[in-house]
Structure formats: C-alpha cells, structure tokens
Homo-oligomer: A and B are copies of this chain.
C-alpha cells in the first residue's frame, strides 16, 4: 500500500453488498471508487413486482450517484469490469485501468440454465430491470395476442403460463400471475376469459421453497393452490422451445415461460485466481478475502461461505448487506492497525411472499403463514427500500392495488411479438374476406 497517499478502495458492483460497503467505507480515511455497469442500484426483492406490472422500475431503483453523492471521498463510475490484475493491483474495465489498495468484488449472480443457455430466449429469467420489463412485456402481450386471435375468428384459446423453479422468485411470480389472471384482467377482455389461464409452477426437487422448513413449504404450496396455481414438484424440464415446454416425454404448449431455477455467479469470479464452486462462487476465507490476497474481498452472491453448521450462506440481501458492512469495517480497522476477525452471519429470519395476503415467514423457531406473514414481509420490504420517496410511493401503490385489484404499470413497451406466436401477416391492401385466408398461427 502506498503510505504517502490515502488508500484507494475499489468496489465492483453496487448491489446490496457493494453499496453497503461503500456507504460505510466513506466514514474511514480512504478514497472509494464504486464501479457498476448500471447507473442504478436495483432493489432485487421487488423486481418481480416490476415484472408483474405492479410497480414502475423507477420506484424500486435508485441512482448509485444519488445514494452515494453526498460522500465526498466516494466516486462512482458507470463501467463494465472485464478483468483484474491482482499482482499489480489493478481493475481492468472496458475503458481504463483502475489501481487499488483494497478491492471488494460484489458482482453478484445471474440466472443459469443448467447448461442449456439456448433456452434463454424462450424462458427469460429475472435479475435486472431489463429482465423485469421483458417478462412484463411477455405476460401482458400474451393476453392481448390471445384476444386478437380470438377476435380474428380462430376461437378462444386458454393460456398456459409456466414458471420454472420453486424458490422464492418462482413462488412470487406464479402467485402474482394468478392474481393478474383471476382478478386484475378478469373483466377487461371480450373474447377470452383471463380467469381460465392456467398457471403452472414446476420444481425439480421434492418441495417448493427448499431452503425453508418443511411445514412452511407445505403451507406455501397450499396458499398457491388457493390462488389458483398448480404446483408440480419433482418435475424436470427436458426442453424449452418457442411456445412450449417439455416435461419428461410430454410437450406442454405455453404462452409464456419464466425461468427462476438456477443461479450462476458472475463470470468475474473465475478471474480472481481463487477456487470457485460449481455455481462459480468464490470460496472465500473466513474474513471474506481470497487465499494469498488479503487485500481482495468477495461479498454477496459471488461469495461461497459456510456457516458454523456447514450450510452455505444463502444468496439473499441480508447476507450481502452484513458482508459489505463487515468488509468495510475490516479495512477501516486494519488501517488503524487492528487485527482481522472472521465474518459471522446473524440470521434475523426469512420471509417469502406468495401473493395477495399470502406469505410464509420464519423467525428463529417461530413459523408463520398467511396474512400476518404477508404484512411482515410488506413492512420489512418498505423499510429496506432506498429513499423515502420510493417508500412512500410503493406503499401507496400497494395499498391501492390491495383495495382495487389494479396494477400501476401495465405497459407493453418494445417489440409486439412473442416467441411461439406467428409473425403478423404482411400488411397491405387486400380484398379477400377473412374466411378466404385461414390463419396458420400457432395456438398456445
């Protein structure tokens, strides 16, 4: 470390881990550079609400500069990190090389397709605002195209929506899609009945919410059933194609397929000369640094660390937040000459929402379900949102939606095609009557 100048800490990624590290580091005598390829921090726990038209992107995202702007020893760069030179202590972006004294890598994770990346175009996952807008587009467009098809004289079709993966994201998506089909859109169509939409949640393992206690998994499955979702466990997807999904030997037509199954760590994890696990997570030391480089820390979804019971810490916001704060303090203390400590995660509990007034929660030995769990989920999420304005507006949106069954952001933007639906016929003057030209469109 250069003893003549202020130590420079580079933080890669401004998710929960990176942002909390940077906020706390700002109190120490260091110069902090936060690098993120986006200009905004995304509140990922509410991303499914953007995907299901309940909230607007601006209501769950905050500009990184705005969050950190008042801290004069913090700078923010919107750039994509491509590599590291650990020996020379340099972060390499597409634009420049940034030297560091300490490095915190908090680059997160993406969804993974178990080696079937070719499925992605037909079954988008949910990790970014762009992902959420694409899912929203597909969900809303499916109903519009079904109505159009029925109005064109091809008879009413009933829609299948398939969600792959029974973790918290899959459960949230399936539950909210059911609410949209059964309540939000129920009376707005003339040729189709959105209430006949079939929502299917597929889980490869024996139960949904596998990281939760068994009684809560059972409760979640029951609550999903009440909302109108069919849950199939121990079910493996064998193929995804435009407009259909393959389960074992059978092929199920599907208007929309959403992917909430696998997770893969950022590819940056493999560029750190440290061992990684099967999902690409970096196996960190007990102080969250990597072997041979005590000045390099990995936090959040990119880090693999086991708790005292030998269980891997889950990829959730509270873990990332505590890791970010721990690493900031570790650096601050080290600059004062203090010794390092080991990281310990303090588990305050877990909550998963399922839908309207439906959720499960575990606080230590206390397991709760239904309305009370849902209220707890709601207020905890409002509380952790960044920015008072976002909190106020999300609270209003939710209260409004709860009482009216309306959703605040039902926009289709971008392309108006959907995989598996045929392209529109070429436009132009035609004097044929509709009956002369039977449609070749695929019914899904």
The answer on a CB contact under 8 Å between B411 and A82 is no
Given contacts A58-B408, A393-B397, A429-B85, contact A189 B96 (CB under 8 A): no
Decide yes or no whether A148 CB sits under 8 A from chain B.
yes
**A111 to B: closest C-beta gap in Å:** 18
A133–B96 alpha-carbon span in the complex (Å): 28
A434–B425 alpha-carbon span in the complex (Å): 53
Q: Which residues of B contact A430 (CB under 8 A)?
A: 83, 92, 97
A151–B427 alpha-carbon span in the complex (Å): 50
The answer on a CB contact under 8 Å between A88 and B409 is no
**What mask results when residues 126 to 156 of chain A are scored 1 for a CB within 8 Å of chain B, else 0?**
0001100100000011001001110111000
A125–B248 alpha-carbon span in the complex (Å): 50
Decide yes or no whether A157 CB sits under 8 A from chain B.
no
**A311 to B: closest C-beta gap in Å:** 36
**A56 to B: closest C-beta gap in Å:** 3
Which residue of B is nearest A147, CB measured? B77
The answer on a CB contact under 8 Å between A411 and B78 is no
**What mask results when residues 283 to 317 of chain A are scored 1 for a CB within 8 Å of chain B, else 0?**
00000000000000000000000000000000000
**A367 to B: closest C-beta gap in Å:** 35
Given contacts A57-B409, A151-B77, contact A37 B427 (CB under 8 A): no
Integer count of this chain's copies in the complex: 2
Q: Which residues of B contact A427 (CB under 8 A)?
A: 80, 82-83, 92, 94
Decide yes or no whether A226 CB sits under 8 A from chain B.
no
The answer on a CB contact under 8 Å between A413 and B85 is no
Decide yes or no whether A221 CB sits under 8 A from chain B.
no
A63–B95 alpha-carbon span in the complex (Å): 42
A75–B152 alpha-carbon span in the complex (Å): 13
Task: Identify 28 residue pairs between A and B in the complex whose beta-carbon atoms are under 8 Å apart, listed by A's number.
Answer: A37-B416, A38-B412, A39-B144, A40-B411, A40-B412, A55-B58, A56-B56, A56-B59, A56-B409, A63-B188, A63-B411, A66-B406, A75-B190, A75-B191, A76-B147, A76-B188, A77-B151, A78-B416, A80-B416, A82-B428, A97-B432, A97-B433, A129-B413, A389-B406, A389-B408, A393-B397, A393-B408, A396-B396
Other A-B contacts than A57-B409, A58-B410, A69-B188, 18 sampled, CB-CB below 8 A, are A39-B410, A56-B409, A57-B413, A58-B409, A63-B411, A65-B185, A65-B188, A75-B151, A76-B147, A78-B148, A83-B427, A85-B431, A97-B430, A129-B413, A389-B396, A393-B393, A393-B396, A393-B397
